[in-house]
Structure 1
Amino acid sequence: MKKNKNLWNALSAILIFLAAGFFFFVVSRVPQLVLESLEYGSGPEIQVQIPPGRNAFQVAKDFADTGIVDNPQALARWFSYFEIDRKIRPGTYKLKKGSPWEVAKQMLEAEPKTASITIVPGETWQNLPEVLSITHEELKLLLEDINIFPERLRPFLPDKEEDRLAFLLPETYQVVPGQSSAAQVIRSASKAWWNKIGFEAVEYDGVKNASDMLEVATVASLVEKETAIEEERPVIAGVIMNRLKLGMPLQIDATVVYAWSLRGEKITRVLHSHLEIDSPYNTYKVSGLPPGPICIPSKESWLAALNPNETPYLFYVADKGGRHLFSRTYQEHLKAIRKVRNQTDSKSSNQPVDSE
């Protein structure tokens, strides 16, 4: 009986100890949390930005710099406690000034405001600055900095800044609004290009150096401008390669359009007079490939340039629907042109051009 009484006393002591500990926690901690949540509850709303790639401590320090919180170390700890550090999203936030706990709680529910910037396939050096809301000089300065590109891509970059545009993947990118938006797009688009195209080009498609990469980029840009039909892209890439092997001029209208655009002239229909322009991009007057890409190619055009079809064709002409009729000989090509012109005026051809 005495033994049972001693056991009961021991259990009672343990229960009293646990109850006291719980009471102490409630008394000491809960008011603190309540005070923390109320202390700055009516604080002013402040706009803060989280750039891409920032970790939890960097974000906490950025927030402290804006005055939204006083203790960045405590905020970083609360980020970790709420697991915000694992899912920080870049963007612009509007938060109320508060304690580290309150600011962290706001971040749990806050949705970032971002801006969408779209690079479309076929975009050119002349037009991209407007898309990025910067000047040509600012774009050139961004592209000069090889550190903006993925590390593994850098050895394959061409020397000319405008040629580096080909290594941006056409997509829609979410960026934090502000002066660095253009840099964010270039960084994200070149990373996407390397992950979806560049890595395989280097590892599996035989691209060995920057010269190889520039050649493929140039062919891809020509394919991009010549057709919007996916299944035709490898065929047109094959035609380009066939003409290059035979030493035939490519005679691609899009290169003439690009040559004139470099002089500030916008032409929508290539006439015979346009073919007289002296430019290394004029593939009617200069044999071989132009010196660099004439636009930003799509993923599909890149894949076509990396893996062109083995085809007997040397010529093609577009019909009224935008599809192409392919020919082995010049005589077949002339027949195809007549067939198309019987339907409507030819939209494009890689041989005869409209006369004035």
Structure 2
Amino acid sequence: MRRAGCLLAALAAVLLAGAGGWLAGGWWITSSVEEDSSFIVPNGATLAQVAKRLAADDLVGSASTFLLRARLLGSGDPVKAGEFAIPAGSSSAFILDTLQHGEVIRRFVTVPEGMPSVLVHERLMAEPLLTGAVAVPPEGSILPQSYDFERGEPRAAVLARMQDAMRRTLAELWAKRAKNIAVSTPQQAVVLASVVEKETGVPAERRMVAGLYYNRLRTGMRLQADPTIIYPITRGKPLGRRIRQSEIAAVNGYNTYSMAGLPTGPITNPGRASIEAVLNPADTKALYMVADGKGGHVFAATLEEHNANVARWFALRRQRGEID
């Protein structure tokens, strides 16, 4: 009897050790992941639901076995919603830890400075990993920068973050504005910043261009900004040709050649730097500017100076063979 009892105890110990080895080996060592993969945990998914999805994607051998091992050997922390990277050779233990404590894969959509809303809309709609549809947002309502998103996130949610970023940035910068500037509301600041954004691609010039336009606004001169002619024609897209005389003379709410004051609304989405320039413009007497042939502008306080600068610009263009 005693000998039989010892044999039974020994057999039980062997079986227990074997079961423990099966549990541990299948949890920390064995892997069903043959190549790098990604895995999405839906919002509100339970561990049991995740186990079934892992098995369906061939990332674990059995949903029930994974769930048993997870409950006996894994952390009790909840799984997080999102998309996760699962490298080839990942053990079940590594997979669970990744889904509980790992970093969610983030992707980015970038809005460059000066991108009009119609192109922002096209960019959002062209992103295949976003869902749902959005309308073209109001011009000037989006802050240009890069925005991260998760696979399957609604486009409306990403757009809302873009617009919230503009509201917060505008409120921050408006509170720091210089005294006696020629705009009286944050919206007017966005309108003028959109013109500054389109008028110069040289960051160092933005405050100077803003100062020049303030001088024109204060004296009643027309801004005469070419991009304000183009906007009502293309809604901010490139014109692709020279501006026609009929378009220069066109009367509408945007054309600053045919009207004094600011356009009726923004002509693009200005970046933070252009908004800062408008709210803290350069102290200048300049009223005129013309291209300098190097990507920037030459500024002048008098019409006489400006005409000389224009003559030099046309001479340079003739030298380059751009005009007769």
Structure-1-length-normalised TM-score: 0.63
Q: Distance in 2 between matches of 1:248 and 1:332?
A: 17
Report the Cα offset of residue 255 of structure 1. 0.7
Cα distance, 1:239–1:103 mapped onto 2, change above 3 Å: same
Report the Cα offset of residue 252 of structure 1. 0.4
Q: 1:266 aligns with which of 236, 239, 245?
A: 239
The aligned counterpart of 1:127 is: 119
Structure 2: segments with no counterpart, 5+ residues: 1-15, 55-62
Q: 2:40 aligns with which of 43, 49, 58?
A: 49
Please tell me whether the aligned partners of residues 126 and 261 of structure 1 are also in contact (alpha carbons under 8 angstroms).
no
Report the Cα offset of residue 292 of structure 1. 1.4
The aligned counterpart of 2:138 is: 162
Question: Is the counterpart of residue 104 in structure 1 residue 99 in structure 2?
Answer: no
Q: Distance in 2 between matches of 1:62 and 1:295?
A: 49
Secondary structure, aligned partner of 1:133: helix
Q: Distance in 2 between matches of 1:128 and 1:319?
A: 31
The aligned counterpart of 2:24 is: 34
Letter in 1 for 2:170: G
Question: Is the counterpart of residue 205 in structure 1 residue 196 in structure 2?
Answer: no
Q: Distance in 1 between matches of 2:235 and 2:188?
A: 20
Cα distance, 1:60–1:316 mapped onto 2, change above 3 Å: farther
Cα distance, 1:50–1:279 mapped onto 2, change above 3 Å: farther
The aligned counterpart of 2:134 is: 139
The aligned counterpart of 2:284 is: 311
- Encode CA deviations 1:259-295: one digit per residue, 9 max, x unaligned: 2114988344323232133321111112211111111
Cα distance, 1:95–1:262 mapped onto 2, change above 3 Å: same
Q: 2:152 aligns with which of 160, 174, 178?
A: 178
Letter in 1 for 2:121: P
Please tell me whether the aligned partners of residues 231 and 254 of structure 2 are also in contact (alpha carbons under 8 angstroms).
yes
Letter in 2 for 1:169: L
* Percentage of matched positions with identical amino acids: 25
The aligned counterpart of 2:58 is: none
The aligned counterpart of 1:7 is: none
Question: Is the counterpart of residue 327 in structure 1 residue 322 in structure 2?
Answer: no
Structure 1: segments with no counterpart, 5+ residues: 1-25, 144-160, 347-354
Q: Distance in 1 between matches of 2:189 and 2:133?
A: 27
Q: Distance in 2 between matches of 1:50 and 1:205?
A: 45
RMSD: 4.5
Letter in 2 for 1:292: G
- Encode CA deviations 1:239-264: one digit per residue, 9 max, x unaligned: 11111112211110001111211498
Q: 2:205 aligns with which of 222, 226, 232?
A: 232
Q: Distance in 2 between matches of 1:170 and 1:201?
A: 15
Please tell me whether the aligned partners of residues 175 and 184 of structure 1 are also in contact (alpha carbons under 8 angstroms).
no
Please tell me whether the aligned partners of residues 224 and 297 of structure 1 are also in contact (alpha carbons under 8 angstroms).
yes
Please tell me whether the aligned partners of residues 49 and 93 of structure 1 are also in contact (alpha carbons under 8 angstroms).
no
Letter in 2 for 1:274: E
Secondary structure, aligned partner of 1:344: helix
Once the two structures are superposed, the pairs formed by residues 177-196 of structure 1 within 5 Å of their partners are 177-178=151-152, 180=154, 182-193=155-166
Report the Cα offset of residue 101 of structure 1. 5.5
Letter in 2 for 1:248: M
Letter in 2 for 1:224: E
Q: Distance in 1 between matches of 2:252 and 2:52?
A: 52
Report the Cα offset of residue 42 of structure 1. 4.3
Cα distance, 1:39–1:121 mapped onto 2, change above 3 Å: same
Cα distance, 1:191–1:162 mapped onto 2, change above 3 Å: closer
The aligned counterpart of 1:251 is: 224
Q: If each structure's helix is expressed as a fraction of its own residues, which one has the higher value?
A: 1
The aligned counterpart of 2:10 is: none
